[in-house]
Amino acid sequence: MTSQDHPPAPVPGIAPAEFLRALTTRTAVRAYTDTSITLETVNALLEGMQAAPSAGNTQAWSFIVIREPRNIRRLRAFAPGVIGHPALVVLACSDDSRGPEYPSEKQVRTLCVAMAVQNLLLTAHAHGLGACPVHSFAPEPLRLLFDLPPYLQPVLLVPIGIPAHQRSPSSRRASDEVISYETHGQREPVSHGAPRGATTT
Ligand SMILES: Cc1cc2nc3c(=O)[nH]c(=O)nc-3n(C[C@H](O)[C@H](O)[C@H](O)COP(=O)(O)O)c2cc1C
């Protein structure tokens, strides 16, 4: 090891191996018990969600938290992707009224919402809850049901509840099929020569 080559310092209180275990054990959950979730827990989920990064920190997003059973029933009528009876559903929208210049592209705003949804899924998992990102829904009826203004675009639904059963994580493609080093198709990392930051003459 050289003076430029420090081992990384983990965030205090967060064991990297435990954190990785949280990431690799999350899986889509589509069946829930009929137990409700406290507002305190819901708030923790929303805090994790809002910590997501966004382009230029514009946070061009808006979230509707749907907890009333009557509203969840109505939503399910237009969202075939919401399976089972979740305790709550988050309707995650991009917000065209925020940062109209940047990010100018709809796609960038959509990516920001997807990042927030991933945070929500992981925070739910860390609390022992099950959740699933859902794109199978009819946006226009939901727009009417939940009074969305024209500048909000529904991106994903996230039903959340206490898992009805344990699920094993879904399979993933092999790393050597999807990861390259330096150039596409180079399947092995190339060994370093000089350490980063070293000057050459
Ligand atoms: C953008 C996106 C849209 C999805 N839409 C749906 C959906 O409409 N219905 C559904 O049951 N699952 C949906 N999923 C969940 C995926 O099917 C699931 O994440 C995938 O099979 C991988 O499984 P895992 O989440 O257990 O790792 C969606 C996932 C993503 C990322």
Distance between CA atoms of residues 87 and 68, nearest Å: 9
Ligand 1: which of 170, 172, 173 to mutate, judged by most atoms within 8 Å of the beta carbon?
170
124: number of Cβ within 10 Å: 27
Residues near ligand 1 (Cβ within 6 A): 27-28, 30, 81, 132-136, 170
> What DSSP string describes 164-175?
SS--PPPP---H
Cβ atoms 53, 115 nearer than 8 A: yes
Q: pLDDT tens across 46-102, in order? A: 999 999 999 989 999 999 999 999 999 999 999 999 999 999 999 999 999 986 555
Which residues are CB-contacts of 54 (< 8 A; sequence separation ≥ 6)? 60, 61, 112, 115, 116
Distance between CA atoms of residues 44 and 120, nearest Å: 9
| Gap from CA of 106 to ligand 1 centroid (Å) | 21
Q: Is the pLDDT assigned to residue 3 strictly greater than 60?
A: no
Q: pLDDT tens across 91-148, in order? A: 999 999 986 555 568 899 999 999 999 999 999 999 999 999 999 999 999 999 999 9
| Gap from CA of 27 to ligand 1 centroid (Å) | 9
Structure confidence at residue 7 (pLDDT): 85
Does the predicted TM-score (pTM) go above 0.95?
no
137 or 201: whose pLDDT is higher?
137
Cβ atoms 150, 97 nearer than 8 A: no
Provide the H-helix boundaries in 127-186: 139-145, 175-178
Structure confidence at residue 4 (pLDDT): 59
Structure confidence at residue 201 (pLDDT): 47
Q: Residue with the nearest Cα to atom 13 of ligand 1?
A: 134
Q: Residue with the nearest Cα to atom 4 of ligand 1?
A: 134
Q: Residue with the nearest Cα to atom 9 of ligand 1?
A: 81
Structure confidence at residue 156 (pLDDT): 98
Residue 61 burial by Cβ neighbours in a 10 Å radius (0-12, 13-18, 19+): buried
- Asked, as a colleague might, if the bond just before 103 is cis with ω within 30 of 0, I would say yes
| Gap from CA of 58 to ligand 1 centroid (Å) | 26
Distance between CA atoms of residues 199 and 201, nearest Å: 7
Distance between CA atoms of residues 59 and 65, nearest Å: 17
Ligand 1: which of 135, 167, 172, 173 to mutate, judged by most atoms within 8 Å of the beta carbon?
135
Q: What domains sit in the chain, N to C, each tagged with a CATH number?
A: 41-163 (3.40.109.10)
Q: pLDDT tens across 16-48, in order? A: 999 999 999 999 999 999 999 999 999 999 999
Q: Residue with the nearest Cα to atom 25 of ligand 1?
A: 28
Dihedral (CA of 143, 149, 36, 28) sign: positive
Closest-lying ligand 1 atom to the alpha carbon of residue 136: 8
Q: Residue with the nearest Cα to atom 22 of ligand 1?
A: 170
